[in-house]
Structure 1
Amino acid sequence: MNGLAWAAWAAWGVGFVVVTGIGLIALGSLRWRASTRAQMARLEATRVRAPAGRYDAREIDALPAPVQRYFRAALKDGQRFVAAATFELAGTINLSATAEQWKPFTSTQRAVTHRPGFLWNGRVAMLPALAAHVHDSYIAGVGALHAAVLGLVTVAEVQGGGEIARGELMRYFAEMAWYPTALLPSQGVRWAAVDDRSAKATLVDGPITLTLLFKFDEAGLIASVHADARGAGVGKDMVMLPWDCSVCSYQLRDGMMVPTVGEAAWLRPQGRKPYFVGNLTSLAYEFSP
C-alpha cells in the first residue's frame, strides 16, 4: 500500500473516531436531558402549597439575638415567602477524597421549600472534550447521587433513605441562605441559642430531623453552617465526618441579602479539606401567593 493510501486510511480512521465521539456526546446529552426532565417532574409533583402571606418581622421577636440580627439584615418586613428558587453556579470541584483533583463545573439547581427538596444538575469538565454529568437530589424523602461520563457511563450512583437522605437534606438545609425566608419559624425551622454569634437550627421532614450549627458574621449574615457528622464517600464505603459549608460576598436579590460564593468542606483528622467552591451566576425566585 502506497503512502497516499495510508494517508487516506488514516484520515478515514480519524474521521470515524471524531464522528463516533460527536455521536456519543450527542446521545449522552440527549439521555441526560431526558433524565433531568423526569427528575424535575418528580420534584415538582412533591410540592405542597407554601404558606400564604408575607414575612412579619414580629415573628422573630422571641428568637436568639444573633438569629434576630440575621433576619433583620437579610429580610425586610413584608418580604414575600420564597416557594422555589432556580440558580446557576460555576466553580471548581475536587474529585478525589485524598488528593487534589480540582475540575471546573457549571450547574443549574432547583430548590422547592414545601415539601423541602432540590435537584442539582452539574456538568464537570474532565478533559477538553470529556465531561461528566452529575445529578444530586433530595426528592420526597429520598436522597440520590448519579454521575456519568458523557451522560452514558455511570461512575457513581447511590440512592435511598437513611444517611443518604440525611446527607442530601443537610445540603438543602445549609443552602437555605439562598432562599432565606425558608429559615423562618413560620416556615418550619426551630432555633435555639448557643452564643452571641451562633445558634442551632432544626428542620424536620418526614422521619428525618436535622440540627445544624449556624454561625454569623459581623454584619449579622450567615457565615457558615456546620454538621457534626455527614456521610462522606470514601471509595465504596461511607464514613461519617464533620462537614462545613461557608458562604460570603452577599448581594441584594429581590429584596433579600443572599451570598454569591459558597464553599463546602470535610473536616478530616488531617484538617479542613474543601471539595466544592461555587460562584452564583444567576438566581430566580418563585414566591408564594
Structure 2
Amino acid sequence: MLRVLFAFVIIIHGLIHFLGFAKANSLLHVDQLSQPTPKSLGLTWLLIGLLFLTGAFGFLMRKEWWMLLPIAALLSQILIFIYWQDAKYGTLINTMIILICAIAYGTWSFNRKVESEISALMTSDSPTQNVITRESISHLPPMIQKWMERSKALENPSIQFAYIKQTGRMKTTPDGRWMTFSAQQFINVTKPGFIWQAHVRALPLFHLSARDKYAAGHGNMLIKLQSLVTIANESGYAIDQGSLCRFLAEMIWYPSAALNDYVEWKEIDEHTVEATIKYQHLSGTGIFTFTPSGDVGSFETLRYYVHKNESSLEKWNINIDENSYDEFEGRRIPKNASVTWKLKSGDFTWYKLEVQEVRYNAL
C-alpha cells in the first residue's frame, strides 16, 4: 500500500512538471508560474516530468527504472531554485523522494549482494541424490538410526540443499526489547554452508537487514540499519566456530546430513548422543538429546558469545517444542524452537522461531 501511495505522489509531482512545458509553449495559462518560461526550459520541465513518470512505474513494478527518480528529483530541484518563488514547495517532495530512494537503494544493494552469495553457495560437485537405506545407517548409534526413521529420512533421497522460511522474535541483549523478524535460509548440505537473510523490525519505520553467512569454512555476520548503515560486520575465528556449530545444530531440519563424512557420532546414553563436525580448519562438538520416540528434544554446544568486541566460550542451547513436529516435503521436523545462551549471569533466551516453509533439493 505504501509503495502505491509513494508512486501516486511521484506521478502527480511528475505531471505538475508538464505545466512548465505547457506555459513555455503557450498551451496553457499557468497562474502558478508567474516568471517567464523560455521554450528551452519548457523542454527541461517536460523531460523531468517524463523521468518522474518512468521512475514511478519502475518503482511500482519493482524494476530498476526506479533509479531514475533521484536523478529526476535533483534536476527538478535545480528548476525549483530558478523558479523558487513559484515552485519552492516542490522541495519537500523532492527531498522525500531522495530519502526514500536512498533507503530503496540500500535494500536493493543489500539484496543483490546476498543473492550473489546464495548463487555461489548453492552449487554441488555431486548432483546424485542417494536414497537412504537401513544398510546405509547401520553404522550409526541406535538413537540416530531411530531418529532417521522417525524423521522419515529413511527411504527418502539424501538432502543436498535446503530452503527454510522462518518468522519469530529476537533480541540482542538480556534486558533488550523483543523484535519481530522474517527470514529465509539457504543451506548447502554436501559442502557445509548456509546463508540466513532476515528483515528485523527494530522500531516503527526502522528495520535491520541481517545476513548470517557460513561458506568455505568461514562465517560472517552483517547487520545494516535501513539496509544502509552498517551496525555490525563480524568475522574471524569466533564467528567461524559459532557458524559451524550452528550448522551442526540445524541438522534437525535436514536430518540426512547426519550421514555425511564430516560428522562423527558417539553414544553417551540411551537418549543422548555426541556429534562432532569437522570441516576445513575447524571442528565443533555438540550434544543432541532425544525423546523416547526418537525426536530431537534439544541441542547444546560450547559456542563463542561475542559481546562488546569480546568473545568467550559459553553454553548455547536450542530447545525444541516437542509438540511442534510437522511434515515438510516428506520429512518430519520441528517447527518451533528457542535459542538460549547459558551465561554466568543467567540464561539469555534471545531467539524464538517458527518454521513456515521448507523445500529440499529442488529450490
| Bigger mean CA offset, 75-84 vs 150-159 | 75-84
Match of residue 104, structure 1, among 180, 199, 214? 180
- Asked if the contact 2:166/2:183 (under 8 Å) is kept, the reply is yes
Indicate yes or no: 2:225 matched with 1:149: yes
Distance 1:31 1:230 in 2: 31
Q: How far apart are residue 15 of structure 1 and its match? A: 4.6
Q: How far apart are residue 266 of structure 1 and its match? A: 0.3
Gaps of 5+ in 2: 1-85
Distance 1:10 1:271 in 2: 58
Gaps of 5+ in 1: 1-7
Indicate yes or no: 2:158 matched with 1:81: yes
Q: How does 1:262-281 map to 2 (within 5 A)?
A: 262-281=337-356
1:7-47 per-position Cα deviation (integer Å, ceiling 9, x unaligned): x99976765664344222211111111111221133135x3
Indicate yes or no: 2:255 matched with 1:177: no
Indicate yes or no: 2:242 matched with 1:167: yes
Distance 2:290 2:91 in 1: 60
Q: How far apart are residue 102 of structure 1 and its match? A: 1.1
Match of residue 320, structure 2, among 225, 235, 247? 247
Q: 1:140 matched to which residue of 2?
A: 216
> TM-score, length-normalised on structure 1?
0.88
1:57-106 per-position Cα deviation (integer Å, ceiling 9, x unaligned): 1233343332222122112542100010011100011122x313210001
Distance 1:129 1:114, change over 3 A: same
- Asked if the contact 2:338/2:349 (under 8 Å) is kept, the reply is yes
- Asked if the contact 1:93/1:104 (under 8 Å) is kept, the reply is yes
Q: 1:213 matched to which residue of 2?
A: 287
Distance 1:129 1:193 in 2: 50
- Asked if the contact 1:50/1:114 (under 8 Å) is kept, the reply is no
> In structure 1, what residue type is equivalent to 2:306?
G
Distance 1:44 1:256 in 2: 21
Distance 2:127 2:292 in 1: 32
Q: How far apart are residue 207 of structure 1 and its match? A: 1.8
> In structure 2, what residue type is equivalent to 1:208?
L
Task: Report how many aligned residue pairs link the two structures.
Answer: 275
The structure richer in helix per residue is 2
- Asked if the contact 2:329/2:358 (under 8 Å) is kept, the reply is no
Q: 1:222 matched to which residue of 2?
A: 296
SS in 1 for 2:160: strand
Distance 1:50 1:224, change over 3 A: farther
Distance 1:231 1:17, change over 3 A: farther
> In structure 2, what residue type is equivalent to 1:127?
L
- Asked if the contact 1:51/1:187 (under 8 Å) is kept, the reply is no
Match of residue 104, structure 2, among 26, 30, 34? 26
- Asked if the contact 2:245/2:284 (under 8 Å) is kept, the reply is yes
Indicate yes or no: 2:306 matched with 1:233: yes
- Asked if the contact 1:24/1:150 (under 8 Å) is kept, the reply is no
> In structure 2, what residue type is equivalent to 1:153?
V
Larger radius of gyration: 2
Between 1 and 2, higher relative CO (CA 8 Å, sep ≥ 6) is seen in 1
Q: Percent identity?
A: 23
Match of residue 274, structure 2, among 193, 200, 204? 200
Distance 1:154 1:53, change over 3 A: same
